[in-house]
């Protein structure tokens, strides 16, 4: 399977990205990158569980997380990363990018 970076910007209320991810990738090959209101997926327990089931790595844009009043300690899944780390993930650690 192709190692894939899934870019998600919409909130959990707008989109359940886990179904797209599960349909396109194995868990081991799926890296989810959460921007903007998509970061709420990582702080809401039920959505976080859903992402954890389909993605081996969940990366949350720290700036977007903190802009919304959350910190790394609030994350129920994944880890807070910088935009530079996200570039590494897209350009080097994965082979294709899918915007969900």
Partner 1 sequence: MAKTMTILWRSGSMMAMDANVATKLAKAALEKGYKVNMFGYGEGITAVKKGQAPKRFPNVGDELQELADAGATISLCETCYAARGFQRGEEIEGVKIGSLTNNLFVFVSESDRLVTIAR
| 13 is a site residue for partner 1 (CB under 8 A) | no
Minimum CB distance to partner 1 smaller for 24 or for 52:
24
Q: What is the spatial distance between Cα 62 and Cα 82, in angstroms, rounded to a whole number?
A: 6
Kind and range of the H or E run holding 97: strand 96-99
Nearer to partner 1, 2 or 49 (CB): 2
**Nearer to partner 1 (CB atom), residue 58 or residue 61:** 61
Of 36-75, which residues contact partner 1 (CB under 8 A)?
A: 36, 61, 63-64
Task: Assign 99 to helix, strand or coil.
Answer: strand
- Would you tell me how many other CB atoms lie within 10 Å of the CB of residue 46? 9
- Work out which of 2, 14, 49, 79 binds partner 1, going by CB under 8 A: 14
């Amino acid at each position: 399977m192709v190692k894939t970076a899934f870019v998600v910007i919409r909130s959990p209320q707008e989109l359940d990205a886990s179904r797209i991810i599960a349909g396109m990738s194995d868990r081991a090959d799926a890296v989810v990158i959460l921007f903007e209101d998509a970061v709420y997926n990582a702080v809401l327990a039920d959505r976080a569980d859903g992402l954890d089931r389909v993605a081996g790595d969940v990366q949350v844009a720290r700036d977007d997380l903190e802009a919304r009043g959350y910190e790394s300690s609030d994350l129920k899944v994944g880890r807070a990363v910088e935009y530079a780390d996200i570039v590494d993930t897209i350009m080097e650690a994965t082979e294709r990018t899918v915007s969900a």
